Structure 1
């Protein structure tokens, strides 16, 4: 095999690409050469480094719940799973739980979701209004009917540390990382050709698109499969609160605003309305969103948040799948040797252990073994069969 050839090339070396590379290299039944191409080797602008880094089972679709059930077990044991050269990674996993709140008009949705979640093994507790007030005394509950809290298995962690743990383990297993941008891909016969921004050209039999918001859709278009994946900007704001609030979870207000502890303070955000959510590639922060929408919501829901001190804020980009806001994962039908993991719509970090595992199985054996990810298959685009996920945050 010449130096410019590999068995598998993965475009995108953040958490999804590195998880896939790592878990493929860990397999006893795969011994091929793996190359990961990463345009941002400092990982300064990737979604993995700029998100709220959390994990939950409170979804409304079975596949997303099952993915996160796998994910939490993986994160709990990451020190042993991803130990590299005697170094056990630490990601500061804190299982503080999500708390989804519902007004009376949304109570049936909350109860239906709770039944599905607990039926699949998630440790989620349903509280009525009185129960919420007793469990979370700092919470304003007068307009609420109920809430669901993840007792265990949900919370937040260091997303950048998770990404680096996958990367270090992959490199320890001889996965090669190239700092460049994949500019053009073509296929001739059974071989893929990948032209890089530094002038090199690589070839492979298997191409995996994990390029995310910064090029995933364009790479897929060149491969021959258009995807409705767009780069959408999200903001994270920080603040300090004078009062200490015990056992604060990751709180989701009925209007979608979220807040969770981070160090001695809090981080928060909200997704904009569709009509105010254009494609974006800049990192400018709209501070009016915090002042006019987020803070008033939080102060009404948690009265202690009326007196806060705002801190820094930053922006990042989701690879948003506008078809159904769920990931596109697996082999692309009709295009041999082409796989994708795109369109995570903000759920990439928590889904990276399961998706990396699934893609590694699919590439090495032709089938899923640990968890069947076929409901996320990209063929649902051509079949016009969206996954209905009500808990999009």
Structure 2
């Protein structure tokens, strides 16, 4: 029986693990070490904060189906002393668009999603034009739209709600930085922090997000996760589009409503995506050269756009396959990894927290089997191919 758990990282993944552990096993001491309790630079607080079921791999669909179930019931699940948190969930849907070149993939993905219970509609060109009259459909063959279960929410609010509930259930949060780990053979015995404390552990969880590789190296493990900067732009337009989903253009540019404005972004090209770029800088050239032209083409009314605000956050980017790495490394018995979500951490956080808590308490997954996301495929260099990477 595990008697003490230390979690490195108190963002959405770490706090979700802490919540599920304490909710399932109130007698198990849980300590969460978070170096920045303001979360000012955390991926959880700086992301576009959205959820979808439109993936091409069954497990990702299933994790997000549980994610939307969790988010819908957050007021009841994470209530503390009568205060019910709200994350302002908007189920406005995702709209993935495809040209003729991508239509077959879109249709195959749609069939998978529907088979797993996701509420996704497949729309042909005339249906797209009728439903979204502000959309330029001239070069489109089809689109897939989330009728329910997809949308956006307050990511920072979710992290705070999980943290407060975990604390109310007895989890201890320590504001400090992990500086080392003591390892005895196949076991991590202590986690060392910058305030001089040594935290004994029967199990340790690496949930350090963009900095998780640094933590892994402390126990001699090379984790293929890097900090990759993503810039987000808040723009205004005189256009009023009416009901508007989170739209993914065939080239990868996305936008969604944010009150009376819109937020938008895209991933840079693979040859212009180095590690550890400073977060206090924003890739304005990406907006000028890629994002704005794509938006103006897809939504002609967006030719008149104004950037109101912009910021950058990190993806904890799994360079192998942009999917999470969850589970134990074969060289360490009591360290569980939950890293490399590559932009999916907020939506997959609840399923991950539940699964990692099961692994710690029972030695196996008892609800949704996350084992395909384990270390085996990483060590064998056998990537999971996800066709709907955003």
TM-score (norm 2): 0.97
Is 1:313 the equivalent of 2:310? yes
> What is the CA distance between 1:383 and its match in structure 2?
2.2
Unaligned runs of 5+ in 1: 1-5
What is residue 381 of structure 1 aligned with on the other side? 378
Is residue 20–residue 355 contact of structure 1 (8 Å, CA) maintained in 2? yes
Aligned residue in 2 for 1:86: 82
Aligned to 2:350: 353
Counterpart in the other structure of 2:332: 335
1:203 CA displacement: 1.4
Moved more, 158-167 or 376-385: 376-385
Distance 1:108 1:371, change over 3 A: same
CA apart distance, 1:30: 5.1
After TM superposition, the structure 1 = structure 2 runs for residues 1-393 of structure 1, keeping only pairs within 5 Å, are 7-27=4-24, 29=25, 31-188=27-184, 190-213=187-210, 215-283=211-279, 284-393=281-390
Native 8 Å contact 1:232 1:320 kept in 2: yes
CA deviation string 1:50-71 (max 9, x = no partner): 0000000000000100000010
Contact 1:191 1:204 in 2 (8 A): yes
- The 2-side partners of 1:77 and 1:318 are apart by 27
> Deviations for 1:195-241, whole angstroms, at most 9, x for unmatched residues?
1112222211101000011x200211222321110000000001111
Deviation per CA, 1:308-353: give whole Å up to 9, x if none.
2211100001110001100001122231111010000000000001
How far apart, in 1, do the equivalents of 2:32 and 2:305 lie?
Answer: 44
Answer whether contact 2:26 2:170 (CA < 8 A) is retained. Answer: no
Q: Quote how far apart the aligned CAs of 1:84 are.
A: 1.1
TM-superposition CA deviations, 1:121-147 (whole Å, max 9, x none): 000000111110011000000000000
Q: Give, in whole Å, the separation in 1 of the partners of 2:266 and 2:42.
A: 19
Task: State the Cα deviation string for residues 352-379 of structure 1 (Å, max 9, x = none).
Answer: 0100010111111111112111111122
Secondary structure of the corresponding residue to residue 191 of structure 2:
strand
Contact 1:8–1:206, Cα closer than 8 Å, also in 2: yes
Structure 2 SS opposite 1:125? strand
SS of 1:32's partner is coil
CA distance in 2, matches of 1:191, 1:115: 44
Contact 1:37 1:178 in 2 (8 A): yes
Deviation at 1:291, TM superposition (A): 1.6
Shift of 1:384: 2.2
Superposed CA deviations along residues 5-24 of structure 1, whole A, max 9, x for unmatched, are: x7000000011100000110
Task: Give the secondary-structure state (helix, strand or coil) at the position aligned to 1:357.
Answer: helix
CA contact (8 A) 1:331 1:339 kept: yes
Matches of 1:182 and 1:329 in 2, distance apart?
A: 20
Describe the superposition over 1:120-177 as per-residue Cα deviations: whole angstroms up to 9, x where unpaired: 0000000111110011000000000000000000000000000000000000011000
